[in-house]
Amino acid sequence: MNYSVLVVDDEDCIRELCEDVLPMWGYEVDTAEDGFQGIDKAKTGKYQVVLTDIKMPECDGLTVLEKVKAYDPQIEIIVMTAYGTIETAVNAMKKGAYDFIMKPLSLNQMQAVLNKCVEKIELTSKNKELTELNRRLRELNEMKEKFITITSHELRTPVCSITGFVELIKYSLSGILEDKPETLLSELETIVKGLADIVSDMHDLAAMDLGGFKLTKENLNLVDIAQHVKNEFFPILKDRQLPIEIHSPDVLNYKGDKRRIRQALRELVQNSVKFTPDKGKIDILLSQENNRTIISVKDTGIGIPPDRIDTIFERFYEVQDSTLHSSSDTAFMGGGLGVGLSLVKEIVISHGGKVSVTSQSGKGSTFTIELPCEES
């Protein structure tokens, strides 16, 4: 990288000298003939180093130093000072100057100080990159640990159930057990479906990491999609006395990816089902206003504590202890991977929209998806 140096000095000969020698040392150079002009130029953000004379009329080098540092503390300032004013130079260093050069100028000293200064800039930026890399690695490691804890819990339960049911079916077929194999098989089917859903979530997460979802957009009637999701949950919710009501116009057209929009709504409803006690209520509200399509899912469930509300869209984040979940994903406080909302967020963003939540602990939550309408 070619570093840009701004030379601020009221002496023409110094500016001219710098314009001649700095490019020979590999620096880009610009000049300002007084402190005011120096500050204005430095504020353009084009320079990494400002080389300023201290003694200038009206706006001196210390003022340049203060104003430029206040604008951007990353800009390094080197002050030039005459012999006999060493205290001023020390004062400048206390105020944040990187170093000072004595006047009359020695080109060797000037080159050495400038080179040292850019080495420091490079080191600082490398350190910043390393700190950022470390932070990211720590995050990934935490995510990996959460992933292992949650998936091993969520996978172990259905796998144990499958093993148990296979045993039972064997007993049933050999006549030792009274239960009919068909009944056992239908329960087994439900567990296998749950397992397939987990694998499918994992697949979607991987797709997200490989550059987001590829959408296939078509004209949709969102009311049909909401009805489909409601029907899916109906058999389970009858037992839990947890009705789902749809509030919408007769038809609500939207151009989007059918599978993904249905998945997003399903994830929100599934969460309401899991986090609302029996005899509660779930509402799906669909509307269109000001060229925006709004899909809301409102429940009368346990709600989300205010200090967790920003975190729930993160992957593998669950407010409750995942190892204490009920094994069913449709029971109250049922299990999950903690990835549903991050998938919803990704689907909504890939459609150009946003998702938000309002919630009150113990009273319920409302998740709202806002999508820009496209020409159908």
Measured CA to CA, the distance from residue 294 to residue 54 in angstroms comes to: 61
Measured CA to CA, the distance from residue 128 to residue 130 in angstroms comes to: 5
Measured CA to CA, the distance from residue 274 to residue 75 in angstroms comes to: 54
DSSP, res 345: H
Residue 46, token pair as written in the block: 């084009």
**Considering the rule CB under 6 A, would residue 52 count as an interface residue with ligand ADP?**
no
To ligand ADP, the closest distance from the beta carbon of 283 in angstroms equals: 12
Which residue minimizes CB distance to ligand ADP? 336
Decide whether 197 or 370 has the Cβ nearer to ligand ADP: 197
Identify whether 243 is preceded by a cis peptide bond (ω within 30 of 0). no
Candidate residues 38, 158, 280, 336; the one interacting with ligand ADP per rule CB under 6 A: 336
Candidate residues 4, 227, 320, 327; the one interacting with ligand ADP per rule CB under 6 A: 320
Question: Which residue do the tokens 């979530």 mark?
Answer: 201
Segment contacting ligand ADP (CB under 6 A): 48-56, 236-244, 286-294, 318-326?
318-326
**Considering the rule CB under 6 A, would residue 158 count as an interface residue with ligand ADP?**
no
Phi first, then psi: what are they for 134, rounded to 5°? -60, -45
Tell me which residue of 292, 279, 300, 274 sits closest to 366, measured CA to CA. 300
Segment contacting ligand ADP (CB under 6 A): 38-46, 116-124, 234-242, 294-302?
294-302
Segment contacting ligand ADP (CB under 6 A): 75-83, 84-92, 167-175, 315-323?
315-323
DSSP state letters, 299-326: E-S----GGGTTTTTSTT--SS-GGG-B
To ligand ADP, the closest distance from the beta carbon of 304 in angstroms equals: 5
Candidate residues 339, 347, 355, 371; the one interacting with ligand ADP per rule CB under 6 A: 339
To ligand ADP, the closest distance from the beta carbon of 321 in angstroms equals: 10
3-state secondary structure of 293: strand
Candidate residues 337, 347, 355, 371; the one interacting with ligand ADP per rule CB under 6 A: 337
Which residues between 248 and 287 bind ligand ADP (CB under 6 A)?
A: 267, 271-272, 275
Decide whether 30 or 346 has the Cβ nearer to ligand ADP: 346
Phi first, then psi: what are they for 180, rounded to 5°? -75, 140
Residue 19, token pair as written in the block: 């314009």
Beta bridge partners of 30: 6
* Binding positions for ligand ADP, rule: CB under 6 A: 267, 271-272, 275, 299, 301-304, 312, 317-320, 336-342, 365
